[in-house]
Copies of this chain bind each other. A is one copy, B any other.
Amino acid sequence: MAETRHAEIASPFILRLPVRFTHTDPASYVFFPRYFEMLQAVIEDWFTDALQQKYADLIIRRRLGTPTASIECTFLKPSRLGDDIAIAVKLENIGNSSFRLRFIGSVEGDIRLEAVSTLVMINLDDGGVRSIPPDLRTRMESYQAAGKAGAQKAGEPPHQ
Contact = CB atoms under 8 A, between A and B. Distances in A.
Interface string A77-101: 0101111000000000000000000
A153 interface: no
A32 B73 contact: no
A56 B80 contact: yes
Secondary structure call for the A interface: mixed
A60 to B, nearest CB: 6
A82 B70 contact: no
B68 A75 contact: yes
Interface stretch (A2-10, A35-43, A102-110): A35-43
Q: Which of A27, A57, A69, A73 has the most CB of B within 10 A?
A: A27
Q: How large is the interface on A (under 10, 10 to 19, 20 to 34, 35 or more residues)?
A: 35 or more
A59 interface: yes
A26 B26 CA distance: 4
Given A21-B55, A37-B22, A59-B26, A74 B81 contact: no
B59 A70 contact: no
Given A20-B40, A22-B31, A59-B26, A75 B67 contact: yes
28 contacts: A18-B44, A19-B56, A21-B26, A24-B25, A25-B25, A25-B26, A26-B26, A26-B27, A26-B28, A27-B67, A27-B122, A27-B124, A28-B60, A29-B67, A31-B40, A33-B36, A33-B40, A56-B81, A56-B83, A57-B82, A59-B81, A60-B81, A67-B75, A69-B74, A70-B73, A70-B74, A71-B73, A72-B73
